[in-house]
Structure 1
Amino acid sequence: MRDMNADIAGAGRPTPMMEQYIEIKAANPDCLLFYRMGDFYEMFFEDAEMASRALGIALTKRGKHLGADIPMAGVPIHAADDYLQKLISLGFRVAVCEQLEDPAEAKKRGSKSVVRRDVVRLVTPGTLTEETLLDTRRSNFLAALARVGAGEGAAFALAWIDISTGAFRVAETAFEALSGDIARIDPRELVVPDQLFSDDSLRTLLRGLGPAVTPVPRATFDGATAADRIARYFGVATLDGFGGFSRAELSAASGALAYVERTQIGSRPALDPPRREAASEVMAIDHSTRANLELVRTTSGERRGSLVAAIDRTVTGAGARLLCERLASPLTVPEAIDRRLDAVAWFVDNPDARRGTREVLSSSPDLARALSRLALDRGGPRDLGQIGAALGGAVALAEGLGAADPTSGNLPSEIAAAVGALAALPPELGLRLATALADELPPHRRDGGFVRPGFSLELDEARALRDESRQVIARLQADYAEETGVRTLKIRHNAVLGWFIEVGQAHGEKLMAADAGTRRFIHRQTMAGAFRFTTTELADLETRIASAADRALQIELSVFADLVERVVAASASLKAAAEALAVLDVSAALAEIAEAERFTRPKVDRSLAFSITAGRHPVVEQALRAEAGDPFVANDCVLGPGPGESRGRLTIVTGPNMGGKSTFLRQNALIAVMAQMGAFVPAEHAEIGVVDRLFSRVGAADDLARGRSTFMVEMVETAAILNQATERSLVVLDEIGRGTATYDGLSIAWGTIEHLHEINGCRTLFATHYHELTGLADKLARVHNATVKVKEWKGDVVFLHEIVPGAADRSYGIQVAKLAGLPEAVIRRARGVLSRLEAADRQNPRAALVDDLPLFQSRPAAPSAEPAPPDPALGLLDTIDPDDLTPKAALEALYRLKAARAEGAKRE
């Protein structure tokens, strides 16, 4: 029922209820206000109009304000989560305003008194905890960005929190790396100080990255009080026990915590202490590279078709989230990578243990998120049930893995640590939950019925009175009939007297006379032909029956509170167990796909090696098999230093469109990512020296929101690569320069290759249709050519998808156009034009081009300890003043310049 405790407003002063609404709304102007009225959340004024459009619900009206109708829209309480989910996905923030007292209590203060209400929580994209609002297989991070200082000396840091699991991490970053780090974290919401958000360059950078950006007052990130705020939240005197943090990191962490406290309004999420992540321990992957490689979602935003979808065999939500985090943040420390690979290898070598582990995990609930809801007082009986089930699964896993290796001496360190965390769980907690909770649990504690019969004698009695009151009354009636000898004695009920004992007139008179001394049967009413009595016992029973339902619920709520207190007290060990379950799930899942897809263990070290034998693209291979049953053509790739070389190779890949160049480029980048995340890889053999930065410029896309054309985007991304790649980086470039005029594009591609070879020195795959570039293999020592094999048959092209050494002399574009269905007239005309262009091009073959064009003779020089000798002609030129020369003197000066240039050429 809706709360109608206030009169509809007239044209003048609003009713007390509307005054209350306006006051609460004024305190939360940036949120839709869900105003609790009985069984509905109501919205008024502009909130109602926006919600009506967004949710497709009816827009009505309620009274008037300042002479105008007040728009109103509402959603029922029982369906509120569904509406919240839609609003949050559309970018809204919602303030939930609850009734803080029973309407009956408000009426005691007067007929026009308003039920006390206040906002109990702000619902934002980054602070969700409800199971129905969260994606089970995706983390829900709230991130905060802080900047300390200004100008070139400014320091940036990010802090990110998932209140649904308690994860809390911080890391320093730089402006250039900011978009990549935000893409790696993939937060649902990003909190920034308002003065930082007003920075045009930062606002432009953040546009289009994905998370909802929420500006907050600058004081939220106050660096002077940051350490105190964090210490106060975790109840410690100093942060020394958490590790060392920079000033920017403290500011970001404080900002994130302040926002959590503001949105949770008195509730305290069970967060882990902040953990610092060093940038040097994680492979740097910028935003565009993540998008190009489709690591966790495709360019269209879907999970299906991405790398994570292809390799995810996890059976728990926590495992799926951990897999995504590992994929988004590949490691750069070989020892840490090997620990992960050891765990995968153990499950590969022990298939029975793997199957048993996955079977137990498949029925294991989401321990971390259930714990978080309970800590925030938003949990229900099912969350307690999930904790209990997870504890049972943890015990079974610890026993099963211990049986697989009784001594634990041969267990890899990751698995051994996980088993240790599971074994450390308090056994009495699981036993208590199993004993207290019923088999079938309701979603809400207010529903009752979640405590197992037999757990509480008092509760069983209350339930018996509530559910079996007629049987209880019948037993009491039989006792009284036997005691008095009146077989016609009845216990009846009406609205005036309640429960009473009724006997005939003759028996009533005898009963009153017989009971005169003890007054056991108390006379209440004399009727025509009948007497009505009560007893102290019946009156007490009547009171207990009337309140049995309330008392039973109160007892259950007391049991619930006790169980929650016990669970929260054990939160540290429960969180460790949740992490252990996720680690076991990921390790077993990666072993599962390794066996199913013939993946092998890579060797990852600190060298500059990059040697892939029979490598495959994991996504394309599965798609080919699913669609047509076609096999994937595996290819080798060697980019490490050759004999006598100290830097990586640059391989120029040529060949026709649709021949497999882009697939080849991407698969090698994905193999590097998989290897360093700690997974087996789709190859017969893989040896990879740690990649510190991964760059991929593949495909074409514009950025109209920032006013960038396709070619501009291509150049911006290429510039980032040339400015940031190191000799430990892996660079994948596809069709650089194709977005502009032919000679402009060829020149840019040529200069890019020379810079990568001479300056960056990184391991590089460079796919191109500019066949002229293959001539650089004769001039640059570490440049190699590779091409895609094709066969021509009766004018058509057959793609073999094999990458072999050598250079292509044709792109077969017309053949591909024919396959695409271009009209035959267009194909004939294209063939004729191509023949004429090729005939003209034979006048200046590729081999001569390298030497003939002065532009390409001026490639960047390799760093040298000895400066180049000065050119005599340039020195002579500095002594000549053209304004003082006669025609004869000018001619003589020209001869002297030519002689000086010839002398300089001999020196070179």
Structure 2
Amino acid sequence: MAAYTPMINQYLKIKAEYQDAFLFFRLGDFYEMFFEDAIKASQELEITLTARDGGTEEKIPMCGVPYHSAQTYIERLIEKGYKVAICEQTEDPKQAKGVVRREVVQLITPGTIMEGRSLNEKENNYLATITNFADGTYGFAYTDLSTGENKVTLLSSNDEEVLNELSVLGAKEAVISTSLDENLQKRMQERNILTISHEEETDIKDEFHSLTIGLNQEKLIVTVSRLLNYLFRSQKRSLDHLQPFSTYQVHQFMKLDYYSKRNLELTETIRSKGKKGSLLWLLDETKTAMGGRLLKQWIDRPRIDVDEIERRLSLTENFIAAYFERKELQELLKEVYDLERLAGRVAYGNVNARDLKQLMRSLQQIPHLQNIIGRIPGHDAGTLASKLDPCEEISDLLEQAIVDNPPISVKEGNMIRDGYNEQLDKYRDASRNGKTWIAQLEKEEREKTGIKSLKVGYNRVFGYYIEVTKSNLHLLTEGQYDRKQTLANAERFITPELKEKEALILEAEEKGGELEYELFCEIREIVKEQIPRLQALAKTVSEIDVLQSFAEVSEARKYVRPQFSSTREITIKDGRHPVVEKVLDAQEYVPNNCIMSPEREMLLITGPNMSGKSTYMRQVTLTAILAQIGCFVPAAEAILPIFDQVFTRIGAADDLVSGQSTFMVEMLEAKNAIANATQDSLILFDEIGRGTSTYDGMALAQAIIEFIHNRIGAKTLFSTHYHELTILEEELDKLHNVHVSAIEHNGRVVFLHKIKEGPADKSYGIHVAMLAGLPKELTDRAQEILTSLEQAEPVKQLPVLPDGKETVVQESGPSKKSDSAQLSFFDEPIVQRRTDVSPKEKKVVDKLKDLDILNLTPLEAMNVLYELQKKVRN
């Protein structure tokens, strides 16, 4: 470092403390980056890479962004998962004896960003932390710095549970110890946790006391302290808006693992990763950003507490009945800004006068909201109304103090109303009157001298002056003005009286600006003291917004209030898939029933592809989720149990990141369900086993069905193309066959999308291929092969001539020689039918003849086949 200039040495010293972040190093009106930071930033931000002399022979790579537009560049880096350390000058350059002192004043990361486009208004921006303990358990805590929300829990030693919590939250950043298991860290990044930060400090500091006051376990306090140490070290500013940490247990909610949340498309679609087409998209009629965030939280964590679910359902019902009041509410809610994030910005110190004005206008809507909700019948609605705190003191203060249209900057004045502060009024009066005096002086001097072009001007170097063009200088008398400055075509003058007024005006403007900023800071501090009230108000407004959204969707789409059964009964009459129904819009959706009971625990669903098996399975699950978040459901009638967990295996998708095939993903998801499901869970398995060979897949599918039926007893919907499995209805007393009906018409399949009792009679696979537009020649050949297989006849080989040689077609009967080799199940191809059969071989043939194939399970059939093959080979 000694070879570099003092400024570059300073940069390198600071950079050494922030190796994993871009260091925005303030130089004048620019933030500069050097060395590797400059090379990488120029690529990521698409800005010019230059170089500068740093004291060595080789120039140093450098790039920079203007100070006034740095926010845009910072946001672009944050969106890519990077961190940015803001290094400011903390010393007046005029007073510096050497290099101006600089310090990092804030570390901006994906989990700590407080404003900008990276912050989706209807999504929380969570920062999580994980702490592993000696007994194998994990402490898990998270915060949304923009809203102040804080939660903490203890998780089992199961890594999957940790990953699931991260996935449910959609955490943007995770704070961990460097000693955390490397495999877990790798899997976290596979789950799209792009930014991982490290914090080793877990000591409890005095300033954390108010945030940990409700925690009574050392593990929880240690976990929370890691997170808080990271926040206070990186943010270097007031975090008074952070709420005390509250504990939660994962078993307090319906457990939806990562796979289920993805497969059911609860908050984003599998294909586009966007909101449109998801359950969240369907339900989101919220009018506030706070309500949008709460809605997503409720979908991510459906309740299992019947009392809370019924309370939400009753309020939804009340809002549906109160149509006119609901419409009034919606209009008022549109005028309520994001109280949670406004409170966060107040505490953070980056709130401006416009933000405070938004806060005032929001608070002014609360009495009206209170009045409207008070008119809605029902005890629960009255309770909600009583929780609305208008915070009159804050809105009155802001009404009196802040002008109607304040500027964005808080240091340029013109924020505070006239009459709010006596001293500020005096400064303003002096400034305004002084300027009026100067305008009058200009008029008088023009009349006195007869110079119509004479003007009184101002600049920051010379202050106020009288300017006369050179062509008019002869009109001035000797000594009339004191000469100040000579220009090419004019002279500038001053007078003692003008200098006196100038001093008065400039002093008034300077002191007035300083006083105005002081007054703004005082107002901000007063508001800051009321942050807990604002946060409590925000929660109530958010809940009202979500419930009116439920009511709006439920009424528009003719949903019904679900009932809950303690006998584990499912009775869904004319159920619909909520999202598919909305997408189809004007087209008529075919509703279906789902009837399950303690005697009917499993439904084995057969039917052709594209007929609606997966849609049916999803709609049953989404109905249960809607019910447990407190919303009405898409059905004519719905009686449901409370499900503690939902497990799904729907769709085929390779996990390329971790190198897992479709079949491996299937087996992992199946294992997760089998290992964790209880009798109160809901399991969806869609065509399990299709990722491997037919016999393997069929054997696994049957074994899984038997295990769930005999060992777990969970409500299960199992769709399959293995029609051989339908015979299980005779062996498993709680399994019942249902199928999606279809008919053939003029050689084409027509899907009726209707669930009926019993197994499907055909798979219609070739018909589906025809619908997909495969060539007729190909589908005709497939039909020929299918007919041959069904009649157990040898299949004719098609005359394929890739090399121009004639290929002999093998007819049924004794084999003829052919140039083209065919694959065989045996070690060598059978080229001739034998007529001489040994006694041993006859025993094998007799054994085959005596087999009752239809009553064999797939696994038994494979074992018999293996034994027969061994005998033949021997």
TM-score of the pair, normalised by structure 2: 0.85
Q: Distance in 2 between matches of 1:296 and 1:177?
A: 20
Contact 1:598 1:682 in 2 (8 A): yes
Q: Which residue of 2 aligns with 1:17?
A: 7
Contact 2:729 2:736 in 1 (8 A): yes
Contact 1:392 1:430 in 2 (8 A): yes
Q: Which residue of 1 aligns with 2:94?
A: 107
| 1:744-772 Cα distance to aligned partner (Å, 9 max, x none) | 11111011111111101000100101111
| 1:450-487 Cα distance to aligned partner (Å, 9 max, x none) | 323443454455456656754232457899999xx999
**Distance 1:798-1:533 versus aligned 2 partners, 3 A rule:** closer
Contact 1:371 1:383 in 2 (8 A): no
Q: What are the within-5 Å matches in structure 2 for residues 320-469 of structure 1?
A: 320-402=292-374, 404-405=375-376, 410-413=377-380, 415-423=381-389, 425-463=390-428, 469=434
Q: Which residue of 1 aligns with 2:178?
A: 194
Contact 1:81 1:133 in 2 (8 A): no
In structure 2, give the amino acid aligned to 1:169. Answer: K
Q: Distance in 2 between matches of 1:91 and 1:340?
A: 38
The answer as to 2:514 corresponding to 1:544 is: no
Q: Which residue of 2 aligns with 1:298?
A: 269
In structure 1, give the amino acid aligned to 2:137. Answer: A
| 1:372-396 Cα distance to aligned partner (Å, 9 max, x none) | 0110112222221221122112222
The answer as to 2:120 corresponding to 1:135 is: yes
Q: Which residue of 2 aligns with 1:256?
A: 227
Bigger shift: residues 610-619 or 689-698: 610-619
Contact 1:523 1:534 in 2 (8 A): no
The answer as to 2:128 corresponding to 1:181 is: no
1:705 shift after superposition: 2.6
**Distance 1:673-1:492 versus aligned 2 partners, 3 A rule:** closer
Q: What are the within-5 Å matches in structure 2 for residues 436-835 of structure 1?
A: 436-463=401-428, 469-475=434-440, 534=496, 539-625=499-585, 629-642=586-599, 649-835=601-787
| 1:301-332 Cα distance to aligned partner (Å, 9 max, x none) | 21121111121111111111000000000011
Bigger shift: residues 434-443 or 593-602: 434-443
The answer as to 2:37 corresponding to 1:66 is: no
**Distance 1:712-1:491 versus aligned 2 partners, 3 A rule:** closer
| 1:103-133 Cα distance to aligned partner (Å, 9 max, x none) | xx323445xx333221111011110111433
1:168 counterpart SS class: strand
Q: Distance in 1 between matches of 2:369 and 2:758?
A: 54
| 1:824-845 Cα distance to aligned partner (Å, 9 max, x none) | 1110110011111222399999
1:73 shift after superposition: 1.1
Q: Which residue of 1 aligns with 2:803?
A: none
Higher helix share: 1
| 1:201-247 Cα distance to aligned partner (Å, 9 max, x none) | 31343232122342424x33x4xx4xx34x632448xx5x5254x44
**Distance 1:856-1:687 versus aligned 2 partners, 3 A rule:** farther
| 1:844-867 Cα distance to aligned partner (Å, 9 max, x none) | 99x965633484699xxxxxxxxx
1:789 counterpart SS class: strand
**Distance 1:604-1:40 versus aligned 2 partners, 3 A rule:** farther
**Distance 1:857-1:672 versus aligned 2 partners, 3 A rule:** farther
Q: Which residue of 2 aligns with 1:154?
A: 136
Contact 1:594 1:681 in 2 (8 A): yes
Q: Distance in 2 between matches of 1:348 and 1:497?
A: 67
In structure 2, give the amino acid aligned to 1:173. Answer: L
2:663 counterpart SS class: helix
Q: Distance in 1 between matches of 2:572 and 2:663?
A: 32
**Distance 1:717-1:844 versus aligned 2 partners, 3 A rule:** farther
**Distance 1:479-1:458 versus aligned 2 partners, 3 A rule:** farther
Residue of structure 2 aligned with 1:315, choices 287, 292, 309: 287
1:294 shift after superposition: 0.9
Q: Distance in 2 between matches of 1:783 and 1:857?
A: 22
Q: Distance in 1 between matches of 2:777 and 2:583?
A: 35
1:816 shift after superposition: 0.5
Contact 1:158 1:252 in 2 (8 A): yes
**Distance 1:841-1:453 versus aligned 2 partners, 3 A rule:** farther
1:159 counterpart SS class: strand
Residue of structure 1 aligned with 2:151, choices 150, 165, 169: 169
**Distance 1:763-1:496 versus aligned 2 partners, 3 A rule:** closer
Q: Distance in 2 between matches of 1:84 and 1:496?
A: 39
Q: Which residue of 2 aligns with 1:852?
A: 856
The answer as to 2:838 corresponding to 1:838 is: no
Contact 2:649 2:686 in 1 (8 A): yes
Matched residues, percent identical?
A: 35
**Distance 1:476-1:418 versus aligned 2 partners, 3 A rule:** farther
Q: Which residue of 2 aligns with 1:51?
A: 41
2:16 counterpart SS class: helix
Question: How much is the aligned-residue C-alpha RMSD, in angstroms?
Answer: 3.4
Q: Distance in 1 between matches of 2:858 and 2:551?
A: 55
Q: Distance in 2 between matches of 1:279 and 1:215?
A: 25
| 1:583-602 Cα distance to aligned partner (Å, 9 max, x none) | 11101111111111111111
Q: Distance in 1 between matches of 2:229 and 2:526?
A: 27
Structure 2 residues not aligned, in runs of 5+: 485-492, 795-846, 863-874
Q: Distance in 2 between matches of 1:469 and 1:305?
A: 64
Contact 2:590 2:753 in 1 (8 A): yes
Q: Distance in 2 between matches of 1:497 and 1:437?
A: 31
**Distance 1:838-1:412 versus aligned 2 partners, 3 A rule:** farther
The answer as to 2:241 corresponding to 1:274 is: no
**Distance 1:457-1:473 versus aligned 2 partners, 3 A rule:** farther
Q: Distance in 2 between matches of 1:261 and 1:132?
A: 24
**Distance 1:343-1:566 versus aligned 2 partners, 3 A rule:** same
Contact 1:850 1:856 in 2 (8 A): no
